[in-house]
Amino acid sequence: MSKQRPFFEKLRSAQERKNSLLCVGLDPDHVSIAKARGNEYADPARHNVIHRFCSDTIAATAKYACAFKPNAAFFSCYEKEDELQSLIFHIQRSYSTPVILDAKRGDIGNTAERYAEEAFVRFGADAVTVNPYMGCDTIEPFLKHEGKGVIVLCRTSNPGGSDFQDLVTKGGLRLYERVAVKMAELDERYGGNRIALVVGATRPSELARVRELVGDMELLIPGIGAQGGDVEATVKAGKNRHGAGMMINSSRGIIYAQDPAKAARATRDEINSYR
Ligand code: OMP
């Protein structure tokens, strides 16, 4: 198991150093890269496009990002897992910035152990996103990796997020509320500062409800930018008592912007203006 600095320590240090709650999502696809950058990354054999695009984007935005969140699907679909691994190492070493591997894993114990090893040992990520639908025992194998962050889906940003997550459970709580409560309990059982929750920026009232339920816990909040979540409503609903406790993610809105550095700085500053 890793002896590196804990994820939440790295995160808070990056948040303070860069005065930022912005998480930059790395979701590279060939069509969007060509559309946004024209010939800049043209390579008919597609050898290094993903890697070059990501490392340029990281270099441009690292000053403004408290974390990066590469989404595994955008690398594995092109068989670019080696690039993913080297980009994660590059972000950690060159920019002292934590990396969340967005993999949304969730499976029974022995399989979850392999997923945890994949995220934390193979890819060397500081944190990973997981799906709690199969129950608390499927989260625990990830928590066994000391210092690593486990970021659990709670109320997702997509329109279908209401299909199941808003259903009222036996005790009267909605399913996402129950996830929030159970994960806060599990986090406490593991000593705190191990679990964060994913709540979409497209759902400010659910975001406020989760904040009410979990106190100062860290939240990963995707859905601003391309999905249209309102930054002011997000920050006001999601901030904790210290005007923090959030990693607000934008992927397409930053990486495919004409000037990613400018977009990242503007988003960071807009978030800060409502803290
Ligand atoms: P943009 O919509 O381009 O900013 O990308 C959002 C990123 O966050 C994608 O990688 C999504 O897979 C991810 N995401 C959501 O959009 N909604 C969620 O509820 C959860 C996630 C996530 O777990 O990161």
Spell out the SS3 assignment of 149-215: EEEEEEECCCCCHHHHHCCECCCCCEHHHHHHHHHHHHHHHCCCCCEEEEECCCCHHHHHHHHHHHC
Ligand 1 neighbours by CB, cut-off 6 Å: 25, 27, 71, 102, 104, 129, 156-158, 198, 200, 222-223, 225-227, 249-253
Structural domain total, the chain: 1
The catalytic residue positions are: 104
Task: Classify residue 268: in a domain, yes or no.
Answer: yes
**Which residue of 22, 75, 101, 251 sits with most ligand 1 atoms within 8 Å of its CB, as the best mutation to test the pocket?**
251
Has residue 57 been placed in a domain? yes
- 23 found inside a domain: yes
Domain assignment of residue 124, yes or no: yes
pTM comes to 0.97
Mean pLDDT score across all residues of the chain: 96
> Which of 66, 8, 11, 15 has its CA nearest to residue 187?
8
- pLDDT at position 182, please? 98
Residue 117 in domain: yes
Which of 27, 131, 202, when mutated, tests ligand 1's pocket best, judged by the most ligand atoms within 8 Å of its CB?
Answer: 27
Question: How many angstroms separate the alpha carbon of residue 191 from the centre of ligand 1?
Answer: 28
200 and 158 Cβ atoms separated by less than 8 Å: yes
- Domain coverage including residue 30: 7-273
Give a yes or no: residue 78 inside a domain.
yes
Pick the residue whose CA is nearest to atom 12 on ligand 1.
71
Task: State residue 43's pLDDT score.
Answer: 79
CATH of the domain at 223: 3.20.20.70
Of 169, 70, 177, the residue nearest 127 (C-alpha): 70
Residue 1 lies in a domain: no
- d(CA 16, CA 91) in angstroms, rounded, equals 17
Report percent pLDDT > 90 for the chain.
Answer: 95
42 compared with 5, residue with greater pLDDT: 5
Q: Compare 2 and 259 and report the one with higher pLDDT.
A: 259
pLDDT in tens, 177-204: 999 999 999 999 999 999 999 999 999 9
Q: Which residue has a Cα nearest atom 15 of ligand 1?
A: 222
pLDDT digit string, tens, across residues 240-260: 999 999 999 999 999 999 999
- Residue 2 lies inside a defined structural domain of this protein: no
| Residue 1: per-residue pLDDT | 44
pLDDT tens sequence across 18-34: 999 999 999 999 999 99
Q: Which of 31, 102, 162 to mutate to test the pocket of ligand 1 (most atoms within 8 A of CB)?
A: 102
CA of 146 from ligand 1 middle (Å) equals: 26
Partners of 224 in beta bridges: 229
Place of tokens 């990066």: 68
Give residue 248's Cα distance to chain centre: 8
